[in-house]
Amino acid sequence: MSGQESYSSSAGAIAPIFGPRITVKAIMNSQPKHILVLEDDANFREIVEFALSNAGFKVTTAAEAVNAVLLAQQEHFDLVVTDYYLPDYPGTDFIRLLREIDGYQHVPVILCSGRASELNKQHLRDDLSILVMSKVCPMKELVDKISGCLATAWCAS
């Protein structure tokens, strides 16, 4: 088998141990993880929604923090991506409101900003337990960070 070891599952299928990369979705369960994207810029919101949907995630979007809070009160999201500069609240205030909702104290949050270099990332990580990313990062990097956050959250639960 070209130098790779293999194993048999209870179903009898043979798979290489060091085979293709297994997705986070496949590891955690068969249901797609639900992500809330809070972004006031419609174009960027659509790009993020498209990238995450193509990666196998279920995505719900909001353009204002007040709507995102209402959505979070109505249904559970496995991860939240939010902008920092929003028309109704700063992203940090939204995150504080989110953390007060039952079930969201430990949900991973990624704060994206076009001006991430101006933010005190260490303070934000310590104060709000979030990951800070630049909006100018490639979408693949955002998808990879989201997958990593979800895998870490799943392993910790």
The side-by-side arrangement of strands in the sheet containing 109-113 is 58-62, 34-38, 79-83, 109-113, 131-134
pLDDT at 18: 41
Q: Which domains does the chain have, with CATH numbers?
A: 33-156 (3.40.50.2300)
Q: Per-residue confidence at 29, pLDDT binned at 50, 70, 90?
A: low
**CA quadruple 57, 46, 83, 31: dihedral, nearest 10:** -10
Rounded Cα distance between 128 and 51, Å, is: 26
Higher pLDDT, residue 127 or 157? 127
Band of pLDDT at residue 7, cut at 50, 70 and 90? very low
Q: Any bridge partners for residue 132, and if so which?
A: 111
Q: Is the pLDDT of residue 86 over 50?
A: yes
d(CA 130, CA 76): 18
User: Mind listing the pLDDT tens digit for each residue in 107-149?
Assistant: 999 998 887 677 766 777 777 788 888 888 899 999 999 999 9
Average pLDDT over residues 45-71: 97
Q: Is the pLDDT of residue 13 over 80?
A: no
- pTM of the full structure: 0.77
